[in-house]
Structure formats: C-alpha cells, structure tokens
Chains A and B, each alone.
Chain A
Amino acid sequence: MANRLCPVSNDHKVYDMTKGILGQKVGMTQIYDESGIVIPVTVIQAGPCHILQLRTVERDGYEAVQLGFVDKKRPKGRRTQSSQASRSERGHVADISSKRTKRRKSAGVEISPKAECEPKHFIRELVGETDGYEVGQELTVTALADVKQVDVTGTSKGRGFSGVMKRHNFHGQRATHGVKKCHRHAGSTGMSASPSRLFKGVRMAGQYGNAKITVRNLDVVRVDAENNLILVRGGVPGPNGGYVIVRETNMV
C-alpha cells in the first residue's frame, strides 16, 4: 500500500474510512428492545485508542491514521520478552533519546511528533482523510456515537488443516451403498486425459480460519461511552478477547 511511486489520488475518495476505532471482542449476549424483541448482540470493548502516527502523502505515499490499543508491558529487567515492549516499540510512541535521533537532530532533520503514551499491543492503520486528527490524540468510542452501521474486521478462529466438508461445505459421500472409508472426501476434482491436469483454484482441503475477515453493515445497537463499549447486532469474527477494528461501514 505504501508506494511512493503511486500516491493515492484524492479524486477517488468516497468514504471517510478513518472513522473507526480499535477494540476487543468481549462476547455475545442478547438484550430486549422497547417492543420486547430480542436483539443478539456482540459486545466490543473499544478504545480508548491513541493516535500514534499520521501517514501523509508527501512522506508515505498515502494518508492514514495509525491507532494503538491496549498498553503493552514494559520490560522489568534488561531482557525483553516477546510480550513486553521492545526498545523500538517504546521509541515509536515516545521520544527516547537514541543515538540515531540525536544524530538526525544535529543534522537538522525534522523528527516526526510522538504520541507520548505507553507502547501499544494492537496497532492498526485506518486509511483515509487525516484532517482533524493529530498525533497523541485519544479516541474514544464516542467517535462512533452517531454511526448507524459498522464494518468489523477481525481474525477468525483457526480451524487448522480442515477437510472439504468443513472448509467448503461439500456434501461428502454417502454413509452406505458401498462407500469405503471415503465418507468425508471430496468427489472428483477434474476430468480425464483431456486436459490431464488439475485446474487452478479447485477447492480442496487445507488451512481454514485464522484469516482476516470483515463483517460488513452490522447495526450499532448501543454506544456506552462510560464503559467504552459498543454493541453491534450479530456476530463478529474471532474468539472472545480477540482484537477487532470497528469502522463506519462503506456499504452504500
């Protein structure tokens, strides 16, 4: 995406994609509306997020807002574990006087502003207009208060190497009538001597799940600014506790 030779043209922008927030899926439950109808909802704990960086066309070739969610632990001793923020991660969010920064400063290079917050666990960019955003700004769920529908992006539950019945909803084969040890197999995958090869893209067994999935156009049922919660109607990809991106929908 970050291609200096091919900057994003402003003419093509239709949606304000930056209207969004990062969150964590809490779980599903159901609530009643005024008329007594049950609404199945997914509870997402969203924000507060810090804006860590703004991408600009001049420097990066595209415009985006970089958000960070959930503080990452700082290492206690000298050794940094993978769950703890490394020096580069700490330097990303705050000014730590590194040799390189000092060298660049003395050479007269302008150092980009820092958010001056704790290092973050979950960092994602929302591509789009960056007007009205500044580095270090804290975004809360109120940013989505007037939004009716959202798109939610998450990482789906991993199902490992799965067969065609689970992965592609194939019917498998019959339980009886002479089927031998092939009850969950796919049928034929192609033709014979002509073309004597397998076409590309034939659906077979393989890795299923653990992929980036977006569910679009989910109704926002409630935005609870006090507890940083957003309730959307329906399911959201990933396990409880998984990180998600909640954006205003781009569906027309």
Chain B
Amino acid sequence: MSQEILQLVEKDSLKDDVPQFDVGDTVEVHIKILEGEKERIQKFAGTVLARSGSGTREMFVVRRIVAGEGVERKFPLHSPRVAEVVVKRSSVVRRAKLYYLRDRVGKAVRLKEQRRPVSG
C-alpha cells in the first residue's frame, strides 16, 4: 500500500516520454543549462555504463574519453534538465553494469555493434 502511495506522489515528476536506451549504447545527452536569463543546451556524448534506481530516483552513467582522460557523468533520468537522450549506436553487451570499461584504454574500449531493425 505504501509503495502505491509513493508511486502516486512520484507520478507528476516522471517524464511522459521516457528516453529509451540501454546499457552499452552510445548516446548524446542534451542538458539544459541556465546562464543568467538565457537557457542553452549542452551536449555530452559517450557510452552508457549503468542504469540504477527506480521511479524518480532512476539515474544513468555516461562515460567518454576527453583528451585521454576518462570522464563520467551521472544524470537523473527524469530530471527536466535532461532534455533529450539521443541514441547514436547500440552495442552487444552481456553485463548490466559496464564498469570493466574503466580499466580499459584505447582499442579495448570498443564494444561490438548491435544492428537493430529501424523502427518506424
């Protein structure tokens, strides 16, 4: 019963169209950034390492290599600041969390591409 009440409370904060992507996908996250009065979109592209949590607390981790240094950012999936998540490429992965990619450098970071039928 209490879980149902919590879901009811969270309902308003959940996105209507939740971005669809999986762990291992190469994505581009569009983040709304407020600079004074103006709002602009910043993009962060990388591989989805993990998804965690449920409801309004669901988060995902995106990793990319910037100037030879690994950079990870963790986003709340349902945050209004995360405007869009565009899937660029899907990969074949056999883990729910790809933390092993942190220990890899160069060519070893690559994941095998998964061809999906184009929907729509």
Residue positions of A touching B, CB distance < 8 A: 26-27, 29-32, 34-36, 38, 41, 43, 45, 224, 227, 229, 231, 240-241
Contacts and interface: CB of A to CB of B under 8 A. Distances in A.
Interface stretch (B20-28, B43-51, B76-84, B86-94): B76-84
A247 to B, nearest CB: 22
B56 A30 contact: yes
B77 to A, nearest CB: 11
B39 to A, nearest CB: 11
B33 to A, nearest CB: 11
Q: Which 10 A-B pairs have the closest CB atoms?
A: A36-B80, A31-B13, A36-B81, A32-B13, A26-B2, A26-B5, A29-B6, A30-B56, A43-B9, A27-B6
Given A31-B12, A36-B79, A36-B80, A26 B6 contact: yes
Interface residues of B, number: 18
Contacts of A27: 2, 5-6
Interface in B1-49: 2, 5-6, 8-10, 12-13, 32, 34
A41 B9 contact: yes
Nearest to A221: B9
Interface string B83-115: 000000000000000000000000000000000
Contacts, number: 49
A79 B98 CA distance: 61
Interface string B55-66: 111000000000
24 contacts: A26-B2, A26-B5, A26-B6, A27-B5, A27-B6, A29-B55, A29-B57, A30-B13, A31-B12, A31-B13, A31-B56, A32-B56, A32-B80, A35-B34, A35-B80, A36-B80, A38-B56, A227-B5, A227-B8, A229-B5, A229-B8, A229-B9, A231-B9, A240-B2
A29 B81 contact: no
Nearest to A240: B2
Interface of B: 2, 5-6, 8-10, 12-13, 32, 34, 55-57, 76, 78-81
A32 B78 contact: yes
Contacts of B34: 35
Contacts of A240: 2
A224 B34 CA distance: 31
B76 A38 contact: yes
Given A27-B5, A43-B5, 5 more contacts: A26-B6, A29-B55, A29-B56, A30-B56, A38-B79
B10 A29 contact: yes
Contact of A30 (B32, B57, B80): B57
Contacts of A29: 6, 9-10, 55-57
Interface hub of A30, A227, A229, A241 (most chain B Cβ within 10 A): A30
B19 to A, nearest CB: 15
Nearest to B15: A32
A45 B9 CA distance: 11
A97 B79 CA distance: 60
